[in-house]
Amino acid sequence: MATDRALSLSVEDVSVHFGGLYALTNVSFDVAVNEIVGLIGPNGAGKTTAFNVICGFLRPQTGVVRFPVLGRENLRPHQLARAGVARTLQGVGLFDRLSVLENVMAGAQSRSGGGLGVGLFGLPASARGERELRQEAAAMLERVGARQYAGALPGAIPYGIAKKVAVARALMARPALLLLDEPASGLDERELGEFADLISTLGESMSVLLVEHNMDFVMPLVHRVVVLDFGEVIAAGTPHDVSHNETVLAAYLGVGE
Amino acid sequence: AVGSSGAAVATPGVTAKTITVGATVPLSGIAANYAEVSAAIAVVFDYVNAHGGVNGRRIIYVRKDDCYNINALGCTAGVGNTPTLTQTQTLVTQVREFAEVGSLGTAAQDSVIKYLNQNKVPDLFVCSGSSDWNQPAQYPLLFGYQASYQAEGKILARWIKANKPGATVGVIGQGDDFGANGLAGLLAGGLKIATQDQLTYSPLDGVTGNFADITQALTTLKSDNATVVVLDSIPPLTSYILAAANKMSFAPQWVISQVGSDPSSVNNPLEAGAITLDPYPVPTTVNVWNQWLRRLIAADKNSKTWFPNYFKGPFSNILDGNMIYGASIGAAFVEALHGLGRNGVTRAGIVKAMMNTHFATPSLTPLSYSKTNHQGLQGGSLARIVANTDPTQAPRAAVLLGNAEYTTGDSANQPIIVRKQQVLPIPGYLK
Amino acid sequence: MSSLRQRFPSAWRLVATLLLLVLAVALSFVLSPLDDSKLAGGAAISIVILGLSWLIGWSGQVSLGNAGFMAIGAYVTAIWANHHATSPIVWSLVLSTVIGGLSGLVLALPATRLRGPYLAGMTLAFSFAVTPLALNWRGFTGGSGGLFINFLSTPAWFGGLFSGPDALIRANAQWPADVTLVVAAVAFYFMANLFHSRVGRAMRLVRDNEVAAELSGVNLQRARTLAFVISAAYAGLGGSVMTLLSGSVTPQTYGLTLSILLLTLMVLGGIGTLSGAILGGLIYSYSDNLVSLVNKVSGINPTSTLGANLKGIVFGVLLILTMMLAPRGLVGAGAWLRRAARR
Amino acid sequence: MIRVAGLSVTYGAVRALRDVSFEAPTGQITTVIGANGAGKTTLLRSISGLARAEGSIRLDERELLGMATEDVARLGVAHVPEGRGVIAELTVEENLRLGTLASKVPLAESLASQYAQFPALERRRRNYAATLSGGERQMLAMARALIARPSVLLLDEPSLGLAPQVTAETMRTIAQLCASESLTVILVEQNAKSALRIAHDAVVLHLGQVAAAGPSREIAADPELRRYYLGVAS
Amino acid sequence: MGSFLASRLMTDIFGGLATGTVIALIALSLVIIWQSTHVLNFAQGAMGMFATFVGMNLVFHGLNYWWCLALSVVTGMALGALTERVLIRPLYGKPEINPIVVMIGFLGVLEAIIASIWTTNISMLPSPFSEIYYEAGRRTILVSPFVIYEVIVVALVLSGIALLFRRTNLGLQMRAAALSPEVSRLLGVRVGRLLTFGWALSTGVGTLAAVIVSTGQVLAPTNMDGIFVSAFIAAAVGGLESPTGAIIAGVSIGLVEQFILDFWSTSVAPLSGVIVLVIGLAIRPQGLFTRQVSRRV
Ligand SMILES: Nc1ncnc2c1ncn2[C@@H]1O[C@H](COP(=O)(O)OP(=O)(O)OP(=O)(O)O)[C@@H](O)[C@H]1O
Ligand SMILES: Nc1ncnc2c1ncn2[C@@H]1O[C@H](COP(=O)(O)OP(=O)(O)OP(=O)(O)O)[C@@H](O)[C@H]1O
Ligand SMILES: [Mg+2]
Ligand SMILES: [Mg+2]
């Protein structure tokens, strides 16, 4: 998974509110190149909202999201996708009427070539690209362990498989920054282990920001953890520091778990 | 190599025993009540066939529904974009008609006259008062039947000037040729109509049921104190306009174009008292043609499905304007054909016959064509709609006011000719 | 063969299209003049259905307004023909396509912001407005009488191919049919390419899940607009061909009813497929044969009240039954049968 | 008590369940575990009448198979489906009201008890469910099932997306309800470790068949199963 | 001059109200069907007309107007219920566009049936109230006892429907059944019955509208065609989720149309729906009165 791009991310002083509800208040954190960062916190803390701000789905009321390499701010989601930011969604978020294989191919939409003209005239570039994509997507499905579902429609596959397909789709973009929103929910313990290995490998070639409620899974995997509660950063640091932080224990992890 | 001449090529639609003619007409949709016109043509042909045909040939009459050329769900679709064209193509290429007889509707027939001309098919007695049928130079095979809306307008204008001098006149007209030509006729007849009263509505109102603009038009006319209002509308809309005016207690003298005045189609008591131009002396004048038509209908086995109202409707046994209109076209075509003899039935022959015949029709005005005039009737008789007290009669009927009036042309300088009521006798072979 | 098909898909599509075209033109020599005319009408309407199928089946945007774009193409052709009687018809076709597409762009500005029933409402309003607008702009459109142009006139060399008593009628019916078939073949070829291109996939992504599509790098606004533009261009082309076939354009022709008819034909044939569009066109052409068949079988007098209205019933029942028995249209039913046979 | 006997479900060529039999006793939590695609969701869907199945499912001698879903629900079977099943276009409180249709307890009282359990929901009661975060939606689904005071509770991966603390608390509540209100719970979980901890009995599904069944303590101790499902090297 | 303008404005406002309320009533029936089954019913107009013919035709045979009205509405409800059971029920879960096409087919069938049973001959349906407009000075104010009756009916039906959907458990269940049938079933909602009820209710309201449209007018199969399109547009502008929105949009279309007619041109009048739509949707694409529910991610 060689990527020619490298992206770091810095979230600076971001606030988002919906009417009277403060989803994020002056949140700042960053993700360095090839770093794996965990973003954790109770339900409704603002994790997904932070992702939405980073991806350009939401404009924060204050603050900015910077990708120092790109040197541009306020990009729209599709522009970010082309710049190398890929993301999985908290739910399933697959394309209902596309087969699993096509779903994975769709991940490469931002980098495959050919506009309207190429498409209309069916120029060779378009055909060749399609064939290569198909092979690459099949390999990707193999890699996440969902190969046998390639021909199925998303509605007919088990939840755990759907989550894997979603990750495969994100990887097809050959991202430089990967945002994963609860990618491991619905996986059993054995699969969690395999999945953790996958992410560690990815971390060597891209930056990863990971939201997950399963601490046994997150803590050993990430380099750094940021903890949100009620829209504010209440702690940040190494997994070890954070998991012994009093505030975090009280707000999220619970004592004695 | 295309199109050859001489007797070697058989005339389409003509065999030793039959002549096939066709028509595109509305059998369903908003103008479906005009279906009676072509049904009456068919009744005449049936009668003639039952009595040995014309010079030994039976007439096969193929009517195709074109929904008044309005694209409706399930209405004929297929070629090009208009139902009428589709059906006409079927008639020309598959039915292989000799000619069209009695096709109906201005917009409908407008959309196919080129096609018929290109394929050299005579198009006879088009049912509509448009002047489009009168273009002999460009369309030598095309013949109208009705008086032009312009001619009608001129005659109506004459009545208004004579009987309502100094009246404020308003017009509500369909927003197409029908309305425009009608208005042109009124102006050519010397009427003054204030611009704001030249009101139009969309012909599609009849399809969409959107009548708000008519109410608006009436409001304006009323506030302008119009005392005479001329309507160029099809029957359902005439009925609607009368009711809408009644709602605002607006009761001018109504003057209604022939196309939209037939009392049994309008079916509204408010129509009593209106003035109209009626080409036929129906039904109060004792007229041989009426007796004849009743006999034909009684003898025809199909007529029960064709004229449900005549047999069981509220006006049973009443001949309405459409039926007489159709019967007279049927008779006229038979007359033209009759004159050709057994061997003269060619397309060129029928066209010549059209121009040389002085047709016998129930109308009081002459029906004749010439090299330069293909319009048809040139006028009609003024009539007043009255309420009948006789329960055996239709509740309303058109009563002739006097003489037949006609003109030789549409423009202002062609005078109106008035002549005594005089009905030509029914030709012997039709009796 | 199949590997060739995979290696050079667009060349394969080109060959397939040409083969089909040759076949269809050959067929037009065999068929009766009436069938030729029906073939022409069916081919023309299938171009429009294909464009609609692309919009609805691929990009997921329901439009009830495509008859409006047809009207634009039709009027452009008529106005152009009235001013440039001698220019080759190719220009009419191209011009109508381009202006159709541009008008699609204009409608897309508000339309692409809308979803589901709201989009349906907006496009419905557009097609409802076409007739009154055409009636109102007499200067351009000739008002209610419409505009008349010369037919596709049959060239002498083509007429020379025919002889016998029917020569005139046959040549006059077949020439437009063959021209239309060529135009339709071009339109189908381009759409076949689009279906299998990256742009085609972008449409399906937008249709299924807008958020995920954006995350995959699809510019939503652009994709939805492009869908409209292409669909409108196809409708414009179809309207242009219709005008060349019928020699006239009137405001009543392209109203709401036609938009609805297009939608039903598309669904009947099979949404989002090439063959579905062809089937839709054929159904359009031959629906009255079906009605007369029913007339004959049931023995109902076609000129009686019931007989005259029978087509509404037959067409309606046909629509209902197809949706009940073959919810994916006739193409879907065909695929199902093939699968069943294989089992 | 729910008694499943000889249950089979097929989707076209896929046989999702094959001859599954087990019992879920009243007042106990029975957990169903198994790998992705083992058929766990399908099992719960057949109990609710959402999947067409063959065999027999009895709730206290009453045959559920063949009954309409709404009738099963009206017998007191509450189902928290996979993917949460909150109705996004209704408000939080409207969603909860839908849960109380058959209940005789006054609405205000039922609401209060759920708001006490899930305070996050009370703050958002007038908001559309669409605006909730993933975990908040899961809470809503749980609350809506519990508010009906069901006699049978079918939970399809309830911990999905919930913060660890909330999961633990919810499980505690359910365990309490089991004991105090003789609730029958069938719990489907990926997180087998925690599921086995609170369940009395466990059923292990493998490729649509019952691979093992018994008291959860025993299942948790079985070395083979441990290796396979708990990812623990033996 | 001032008073002339004032009376002209009065005329327009009342005229607009008269058309607008009927548009609103039909829009309301569309909203009901949308809220209770998420189907866009293109045959709504024809269904209402069919029921109207069944009942109101008896007026010509001497039956009292109100009995006929009741009969029409009951027929409409039965027709709606039957349609749902026979035509719509088998289509749940099929592509969204299928019920639309089926209802278009049904529209064709119904119109043909009406046309062949009652022929196309026209008769005026007399009104139970005076339809004569009031006069103010020399000008006609487009309001009559019948128009007042019409406005009252619309107000009553609107409040009834709004109460049903917003305040009652039945309404909540209906909405839930339409939004998510499977989840609703899991909660014990009798989805099937509610869908049938929704169709019955909607067609009943649609029939009421059709009777009002046809009263004092020719009873013709096409009476609802144009006004149905306006109603459809009104429903889309107002937001299919909101009965109040439908009413406001419907009345606005009526008013705009009336003003266009008076101050501009009759042939532009059919565009009034478009004008209201473009303005309305430009302000809020998801319908003027739909509350923002969506959260995209
Ligand atoms: N569009 C919106 N309108 C109103 N409130 C919103 C909106 N989007 C998010 N919120 C609220 O903002 C808060 C943060 O939501 P977010 O989805 O970011 O939480 P989260 O940390 O991802 O939680 P979870 O772990 O449960 O997924 C929640 O209380 C949520 O309900
Ligand atoms: N609608 C459907 N059509 C076809 N196959 C289906 C359908 N639903 C489920 N299946 C198949 O049935 C099998 C069982 O699926 P099920 O969803 O019950 O698994 P599961 O155990 O719940 O998995 P997970 O833990 O990942 O949710 C799978 O092979 C799946 O592909
Ligand atoms: Mg979240
Ligand atoms: Mg599952």
Reported as a single tens digit per residue, the pLDDT across B56-80 is 999 999 999 988 887 766 665 544 4
- pLDDT tier at A2, thresholds 50, 70, 90: very low
Find, in chain D, the residue whose alpha carbon is nearest to that of E182.
D50
Output phi, psi for B20, to 5 deg: -105, 125
Show me where the domains of chain E are located.
2-221
For residue E22, give the amino acid letter. V
SS3 at position C112:
coil
Residue tagged 């189907």 (tokens): E39
pLDDT recorded at residue E287: 67
Q: What is the DSSP letter of D30?
A: E
- Confidence band, pLDDT 50/70/90 cuts, at residue B200: low
pLDDT digits (tens, 9 = 90+) for A112-126: 766 787 788 877 666
Smallest CA-to-CA distance from B20 within B413, B345, B316 is with: B345
Q: Is C220 domain-assigned?
A: yes
Cis peptide before E270 (omega within 30 of 0): no
Residue in chain E nearest B306 by alpha carbon: E119
- Domain coordinates in residue numbering, chain D: 2-85+151-228
Report the pLDDT value the prediction gives residue E1, as an integer from 0 to 100.
47
For E31, name the nearest residue in chain C, comparing CA atoms only. Answer: C117
Does the pLDDT value for residue C121 go beyond 60? Answer: yes
Instruction: Give percent of chain C above pLDDT 70.
Output: 99
Confidence bin at C169 (pLDDT 50/70/90): confident
A198-212, C63-77, C110-124: least confidently modelled range: C110-124
Residue nearest to atom 7 of ligand 1 (CA): D131
Show which subunits contact C, needing at least 3 CB pairs below 8 angstroms. Answer: A, B, E
What pLDDT, in 10s, does the model give residues B287-343?
Answer: 788 889 999 999 998 888 888 888 887 777 888 888 999 999 999 999 999 999 888
Of C212, C217, C226, the CB nearest to A116: C226
Amino acid at C165: P
Cα gap C235→C49, rounded to integer Å: 8
Residues of chain D with pLDDT under 70: 228-234
For chain D, the residues whose C-beta falls within 8 A of a C-beta of chain E are 48, 50, 68-70, 73-74, 78-79, 81, 85-90, 94, 97-99, 101-102, 128, 130-131, 144, 148
Confidence class for position E289, pLDDT limits 50, 70, 90: low
Q: How far apart (Å, rounded) are the C-alpha atoms in residues B346 and A13? A: 94
Nearest CA to ligand 2 atom 12: D16
Residue A256: pLDDT above 60?
Answer: no
Instruction: Report the SS3 class of residue B174.
Output: strand
Q: Hey, what long-range contacts does B301-305 have (CB within 8 A, 24 or more apart)?
A: B302/B42, B302/B43, B302/B46, B302/C301, B302/C303, B303/B39, B303/B43, B305/C301, B305/C303, B305/C304, B305/C305, B305/C307
Residue B404: predicted pLDDT: 80
Predicted local distance difference test score (pLDDT) of residue B211: 63
> Would you say residue C206 has pLDDT above 90?
yes
pLDDT value at residue C238: 96
* Distance in angstroms (rounded) separating the CA atoms of residues B393 and B316: 9
- Pick from A227-231, A252-256, C331-335 the range whose average pLDDT is largest: A227-231
- Cα D14 to ligand 2 centroid, rounded to whole Å: 9
| Strand partners of residue C13 | none
Rg for chain D (alpha carbons), in Å?
Answer: 17
Ligand nearest to the CA of A40: 1
Place of tokens 């910077």: A66
- Closest alpha carbon to D199 in D189, D208, D211: D189
Q: Whose CA is nearest to atom 2 of ligand 2?
A: A156
Which numbered ligand comes closest to the C-alpha of D125?
1
As a whole number, mean pLDDT of residues E165-175 equals 92
Q: How far apart are CA A171 and CA A186, in angstroms?
A: 19
Taking the C-alpha atoms of residue C258 and residue C128, their distance in angstroms, rounded to an integer, is 10
CATH number at residue C189: 1.10.3470
CB B133 within 8 A of CB B126: yes
Tell me the mean pLDDT in the region A30-51: 94
Q: In the prediction, which pLDDT does B7 show?
A: 41
Phi, psi dihedrals of residue B226, rounded to the nearest 5°: -65, 135
Taking 80 as the threshold, does the pLDDT of residue A255 lie above it?
no
- In sequence order, what DSSP letters do the residues of C217-228 get, joined into one string? T--HHHHHHHHH
Confidence of residue B8 (pLDDT cuts 50, 70, 90): very low
Q: Count of CB contacts below 8 A, A vs D?
A: 101
Closest CA to B95 of E16, C292, E248, D116: C292
Is residue B76 within 8 angstroms of chain E, CB to CB?
A: no
A109 touches E at CB < 8 Å: no
Q: Which of B165-174, C88-97, E78-87 has the lowest mean pLDDT?
A: B165-174
The whole-number average pLDDT for the span C105-128 is 86
Are the CB atoms for C144 and B203 separated by under 8 Å?
A: yes
* Backbone angles phi and psi of A128, in degrees to 5: -60, -45
Nearest ligand atom owner, CA of A163: 2
The CA distance from A50 to A14, in Å, is 9
Distance (Å) from the alpha carbon of E93 to chain A's nearest alpha carbon: 13
Residue C296 domain-assigned (yes or no): no
Contacts of C204 in chain A (CB under 8 A): 95, 97-98
Cα separation values, B412 from B146, B158, B403, B407, C39, Å: 19, 11, 21, 10, 49
Residue bearing the bigger pLDDT, B159 or E291: B159
Task: Give the rounded distance of the alpha carbon of B111 from its chain centre.
Answer: 18
pLDDT tens per residue, range E184-239: 999 999 999 999 999 999 999 999 999 998 888 778 777 887 788 889 889 988 88
CA distance B321 to B363: 11
C-alpha–C-alpha distance, residues C214 and C230, integer Å: 21
DSSP one-letter string for D48-102: TTSS--EEEEEETTEE-TTS-HHHHHHTTEEEE-TT----TTSBHHHHHHHHTTT
Name the percent of chain E in helix, strand, coil, to the closest 5.
75, 5, 25
pLDDT at B243 (0 to 100): 87
E48 pLDDT above the threshold of 90 = yes
Going by their DSSP bridges, the two strands B275-278 and B253-256 should be labelled as parallel
Place of tokens 């900015």: A64
CA-based nearest residue to B374, from B139, B143, B127? B143
Task: Pick the more confident residue, E287 or B153.
Answer: B153
Confidence of residue B127 (pLDDT cuts 50, 70, 90): very high
What pLDDT was estimated at residue E294?
58
- The confidence band for B398, taking pLDDT boundaries of 50, 70 and 90, is confident
The band of E116, judged by pLDDT with boundaries at 50, 70 and 90, is confident
In the prediction, which pLDDT does D190 show?
84
d(CA C60, CA C115): 9
Question: Which of B199, B210, B249 is facing E227, going by the closest CB pair?
Answer: B210
Name the nearest CA neighbour of E80 among E116, E127, E129, E30: E30
Name the residue range of residue C285's domain.
Answer: 2-290
Tell me, yes or no, whether C118 lies in a domain: yes
Contact at CB, A44 and D136, closer than 8 angstroms:
yes
Q: Which pLDDT value is given to residue E119?
A: 67
Ligand 1: centre distance to CA D138 (Å) = 13
Nearest to D188 by CA among D212, D160, D219, D215: D160
For residue C134, is it within any domain? yes
The arithmetic mean of pLDDT across residues C97-111, rounded, is 93
pLDDT of residue B427: 86
- Spell out which residues of chain A touch residue E297, defining contact as CB-CB under 8 Å: 48, 51-52, 55, 57, 89-90
**C193 touches C11 (CB < 8 A):** no
Confidence band for B81, pLDDT divided at 50, 70 and 90: low
- Name the CATH architecture for the domain at D2-85+151-228: 3-Layer(aba) Sandwich (3.40)
Contact C240, C73 (CB under 8 A): yes
pLDDT digits (tens, 9 = 90+) for E5-21: 777 788 888 888 888 99
Phi, psi of D54 (to 5 degrees): -120, 155
Q: Is C172 inside a domain boundary?
A: yes
- Structure-block tokens of residue B338: 């009759």
**Degrees to nearest 5, angle at CA C180 with C176 and C183:** 145
The DSSP string of B52-91 is TTBTTBEEEEEEEE-GGG---TTS---SSS-HHHHHHHII
**Total domain count for chain C?**
1
Contact, B85 vs C246, CB < 8 A? Answer: yes
Q: Are E190 and D70 in contact (CB under 8 A)?
A: yes
H-helix or E-strand containing E151? Answer: helix E145-167
CB contact under 8 A, A119 and C215: no
Greater confidence, D228 or C236?
Answer: C236
For A118-135, what is the mean pLDDT? 78
Ligand 3 centroid to A209 CA: how many Å?
Answer: 13
- Rounded CA separation B292/D172 (Å): 99
Name every residue whose Cβ is closer than 8 Å to that of residue B336 and which is 6 or more positions away in sequence: B124, B350, B353, B354, B357, B359
What are chain E's partners, defined as 3 or more CB pairs within 8 angstroms?
A, B, C, D
Provide long-range contacts, Cβ within 8 A and 24+ apart, for B234-237.
Answer: B234/B30, B234/B31, B234/B174, B234/B203, B234/B206, B234/B259, B234/B260, B235/B33, B235/B260, B235/B261, B235/B262, B235/B265, B235/B266, B235/B267, B235/E122, B236/B30, B236/B206, B236/E122, B236/E218, B236/E220, B237/B174, B237/B201, B237/B205, B237/B206
Dihedral sign of CA atoms A86, A74, E293, A230 in order: positive
Asked if B74 reaches chain E (Cβ–Cβ under 8 Å), the answer is yes
State the chains in contact with A (3 or more Cβ–Cβ pairs under 8 Å). Answer: C, D, E
